[in-house]
Structure 1
Amino acid sequence: MKKTTTKALFSGLAIAGTAALLAGCGAAPESSSTSGGQAASDYLPCMVSDAGGFDDKSFNQLGFEGMTQAADELGVEYKAVESAAETDYAANLQSLVDQGCNTIVTVGFLLAPAAAEAATANPDIEFVSIDDTVDLDFDGTTDAENIKPIIFDTAQAAFLAGYLSAGVTQTGVLGTFGGMNIPTVTIFMDGFAQGVDYYNETKGADVKVVGWDRAAEDGSFTGGFEANDGARQIAQGLIDQNADIILPVGGPIYQSAAAAIEDSGKEIALIGVDADVFETDPSVGSLLLTSILKGIDVGVYDAIMAAGGGDFDVTPFVGTLENEGVGLAAFHDWESKVPAELVTEVDELKAAIIAGELTVESYLAE
């Protein structure tokens, strides 16, 4: 079977667009069909969430919004299925295959094995994989010719967030934790730590990151993507180590971190991921220094619009700072607390990364 090559993955990309998103998990594995407007064709786009669900205020929600916007503009119906657990993925995909979906979007790294199996068994159906290249044998190629990956080198934006945080912290300690030790989570944590390291090198500073060890490629993880007491306890542990800025990576787990911050009575900032959490969840807006953005909705929207017009293209959508597929959100309520010279430095670092003068390491780097 023909495969998408690694070279195609990272070169010749004609992609543009940006937006914010989140990393999510979710509801019951029951299919629902919703009208996106007056049906103008037989084209049927579909989507399967990971265990976070479409109301995670993160990447599932952003993917869903991208699909519904495209379906509305195309004048077609869509089908969306939420997964409650990893064991639902294969069955949910099969249910959409059975319902005649033309394009099926899988949301999240953890759906890759089920997506590869479904795509291989159904070569006439178009698949879009968010956050994974579906290269399960690690040979540098996508495992089926009918899969379009939508992936994001968020380490670049996280690097900027780490440098920014190192310049804002008052305690000299920054904290991070994730849902699971998987590449789409740790790419944020590692990029963040690289930004702090760079700040220390250039400023002669000694800002510490707790919750992630670059050398060991391990750190603090909740084991899932639920806002629960376990996530709250990990956040509290970072606060107990004197962290005054915390980066939670894993959809709704930021809500547990926010609760721990509020209970502490201390001035501690939160960094959101995927979407501009200040906009998606105003209840934590006052805590947010910024958010590390992924243009998931834009990637999904573009893929569905192209497929609905008969122009489905398996060329990967790779979000970078250069094409604005990743970035930092505004500082909102924290704007007055960020020195102007630090903002200038972050802008200069962004330009240097785009120009190739500064390299941020990640598993997606060319």
Structure 2
Amino acid sequence: MKKYVRGLAIVSALTLAVAACGSKPTDNASGGSANKDFKACMVSDSGGFDDKSFNQTSYEGFQAAIKAKGLTEVKAESKSDNDYPTNMTAMVNAKCKVIVAVGFKLEDATDKAANANPDIKFAIVDSAPAKPIANVKPLLFNTAQAAFQGGYLAAAMTKTGKVGTFGGIKIPPVTIYMDGFAEGVRYYNKQKSKNVQVLGWDDAKQTGLFTGDFEDKAKGQNTGQNLITQGADIIFPVAGPSGLGGLQAAKASNGKVNAIWVDTDGCVSAAEYCSVLISSVNKGMDVAVQDAVTSVVDNKYDSKQFVGTLENGGTSLAPFHEFDGKVPAEVKTELDQIKADIISGKITIASKAQPAAS
């Protein structure tokens, strides 16, 4: 997997000019850029911009805003959690006009930077300040809704009667997926008088399997194999790059095990695993990030939190791709009805990790 420069390196729009960690960033916007003096900045979490998951999806939206508005891009890719305060400070020192933080783990660094720099606009993916901050826009997603569909789909497609899930770290942006998945399986069992088991997560007790990080693919593969050994023939990794190891375990089964991906359409972001991906639970971070950056350029920024839902397209079930002919028409119809029933409120989801409605 290609890796960008990690840690405290600061990458500008067109070239990298950093001699050592912590060096002052240099900016090289093209002369024809419409807003070349406008610096839009982003800090990743420790998964990095090429995680084939939420950092990558958020960065794609960031790049779309840069291109559409002719901005100067500055970004900092974090190697570990210890990098967040330093990378955020680097963005402030680079005189960014908007800073996008990717991930729940950047909450503290973002809040401190925003309070100390009220003239800079911030947006953060998957987090919201405990008390609203006038220059911080939370970008939240009720992925339990689409994960509910994913759980139903897994229950409908399993041949062993067992499906499994595991997370990276036990934080709300992870457990919300696992909750929705488990609730969707339970709904299938109730509707069909079945007893499909969920391995790896007990949503009532909020206990289950976690790799402990989002980076270690080997841990993800071992955890996925653990679920497979217990009989799961469909797995649902919620662990960023670590989760790719779970997809590798599924692929190694030679057709016996399949998976459902998260955050983005796995057949696009991790095409090498498309043959085992029934679908993916999408989180529309790209659109939300692009809108947040654009709003600052257009002087339309506000700090009201955005919540992505099935209704507004902020979360969704991805196409079935290679499984389109394998998912029964009846199941497709039922998934559409579930979406309508969640939107209308006929189906309610219990997960306490769901963000409050905006």
Per-residue deviation at 1:26?
9.0
Structure 1 residue identity aligned to 2:264: A
Does residue 31 (structure 1) correspond to residue 25 (structure 2)? The answer is: no
CA–CA separation in structure 1 for the residues paired with 2:313 and 2:79: 32
Question: SS state of the match for residue 114, structure 1?
Answer: helix
Structure 1 residue identity aligned to 2:111: A
Call closer, same or farther: CA 1:314–1:26 in 2, change over 3 Å. Answer: farther
Does residue 240 (structure 1) correspond to residue 240 (structure 2)? The answer is: no
Select 2:107's aligned residue among 88, 112, 115: 112
Per-residue deviation at 1:297?
0.5
CA contact (8 A) 1:294 1:327 kept: yes
Q: For residue 47 of structure 1, what is the aligned residue in structure 2?
A: 42
Select 2:137's aligned residue among 117, 141, 148: 148
CA contact (8 A) 1:26 1:51 kept: no
Higher RCO by CA contacts (8 Å cutoff, separation 6 or greater):
1
CA–CA separation in structure 2 for the residues paired with 1:283 and 1:227: 18
CA contact (8 A) 2:102 2:125 kept: yes
CA–CA separation in structure 2 for the residues paired with 1:238 and 1:27: 32
Does residue 346 (structure 1) correspond to residue 340 (structure 2)? The answer is: no
CA–CA separation in structure 2 for the residues paired with 1:174 and 1:237: 12
Select 2:248's aligned residue among 233, 250, 259: 259
CA contact (8 A) 1:105 1:128 kept: yes
Per-residue deviation at 1:155?
0.1
Structure 2 residue identity aligned to 1:222: T
Q: For residue 315 of structure 1, what is the aligned residue in structure 2?
A: 304
Per-residue deviation at 1:336?
1.6
Per-residue deviation at 1:340?
0.6
Select 1:179's aligned residue among 168, 177, 180: 168
- The answer for unaligned runs of 5 or more in structure 2 is 15-28
Segment drifting more, 88-97 vs 308-317: 308-317
- The answer for unaligned runs of 5 or more in structure 1 is 1-24, 136-140
Select 1:209's aligned residue among 178, 182, 198: 198
Calculate percent identity across the aligned residue pairs: 45
CA–CA separation in structure 1 for the residues paired with 2:165 and 2:275: 19
1:72-118 C-alpha deviation (Å, 9 max, x unpaired)? 11112110100000100000000110110010000000000111111
Select 2:91's aligned residue among 88, 96, 99: 96
- Tell me how many residue pairs correspond in the alignment: 336
Question: SS state of the match for residue 311, structure 1?
Answer: coil
Does residue 160 (structure 1) correspond to residue 154 (structure 2)? The answer is: no
Structure 2 residue identity aligned to 1:27: R
1:258-296 C-alpha deviation (Å, 9 max, x unpaired)? 222233334211111111010111110100000000010
CA contact (8 A) 1:177 1:247 kept: yes
CA–CA separation in structure 1 for the residues paired with 2:150 and 2:335: 9
Question: SS state of the match for residue 228, structure 2?
Answer: helix
Does residue 278 (structure 1) correspond to residue 278 (structure 2)? The answer is: no
Structure 1 residue identity aligned to 2:182: A
Select 1:170's aligned residue among 138, 155, 159: 159
Call closer, same or farther: CA 1:330–1:26 in 2, change over 3 Å. Answer: farther
CA–CA separation in structure 1 for the residues paired with 2:250 and 2:294: 41
Does residue 355 (structure 1) correspond to residue 349 (structure 2)? The answer is: no
* Cα RMSD (Å): 1.5
Per-residue deviation at 1:365?
4.8
Structure 2 residue identity aligned to 1:330: P
1:240-268 C-alpha deviation (Å, 9 max, x unpaired)? 11101000002112321122223333421
Structure 2 residue identity aligned to 1:78: E
Does residue 64 (structure 1) correspond to residue 51 (structure 2)? The answer is: no
Question: SS state of the match for residue 331, structure 2?
Answer: helix
CA contact (8 A) 1:46 1:78 kept: yes
1:214-265 C-alpha deviation (Å, 9 max, x unpaired)? 1210110000012432221111110011101000002112321122223333
CA contact (8 A) 2:251 2:258 kept: no
CA–CA separation in structure 1 for the residues paired with 2:5 and 2:12: 17
